[in-house]
Structure 1
């Protein structure tokens, strides 16, 4: 009986050893067939999101400013437009402008860019001549610092035309505010001590050239 019991114990021990020796383990001591735990501290790789084509500044030919807005480029120059004028009713000495008391035949010369002159056809018999016509095109802003205006009565429709009568002259400083296309009025007041300065106003525009 003792021999049988010993034999049974030996068989049980061998079977236990075989079971232990047949188990495969991985490098960390765990089973090679065991799925490792997920590391809770790991992060998923970043996902690329393409930009929306509708975002960003719109290219309309201008220059993008520092704030992302579009700044239009400065104009290539300015067109000088003569709008209208007014002239005093008489000369400084009290005489009428034309024979029989007729209003003057008004014209003027405009000087800019160190002597460049542009002349304009006269308006006959008017104290309030109206043109609204372009007299110079694409003039650079640097050439419009100060302009000079000489206005005359041409006596164009007289039977015996005489030399033009001087209505007046004056200078005008074209500042940045005048270069926006709005009308500006040059005021040349009457000077009773100067026979050539009877007085006039001239309304101009400086339109950005297209």
Structure 2
């Protein structure tokens, strides 16, 4: 793997951010509205820095572009139900990889590095590839830290318990350890406790 080029890395992350700042959907955080996927990218990078401070350049890129331009491929474009959902998710990962790959190429990354980021985004060899597993852990931690409360307002308890259990199964033991230390509201702590018992 080539040595990190911090100028190139910084520029590419900034370009990912610029792409995500175009998101017409917004989310309220820290006293103001932010483009939704831009905010998600920041949260992914912050969580990665906490969970894996020595993450490679490639992993830093993959974390930031995990949802790049997601609004351009909405869930509503696919059929209802589990099969439609799975098709949307798998095609979405390829879409994110294409967009990220174009931006990386413009910044001088070689095809091997681009393919590596794309493989991380499609979760190739989850559980066997340590970097894919780290990315999955970070995704799950971001969900639990920032999005579980929002989900709790839309779904009943049985559905939430199912979501938490599925999230837990994707994580490594290190991910579990980090998740149990997350600051959570009392109702969410109780829900996670119930899901894991």
TM over 0.5: no
TM-score tier, shorter chain, comes to under 0.3
Q: Which has the higher helix share?
A: 2
TM-score (norm 2): 0.22
Q: Which has the higher strand share?
A: 1
Higher normalized contact order (CA 8 Å, seq sep 6+, divided by chain length): 1
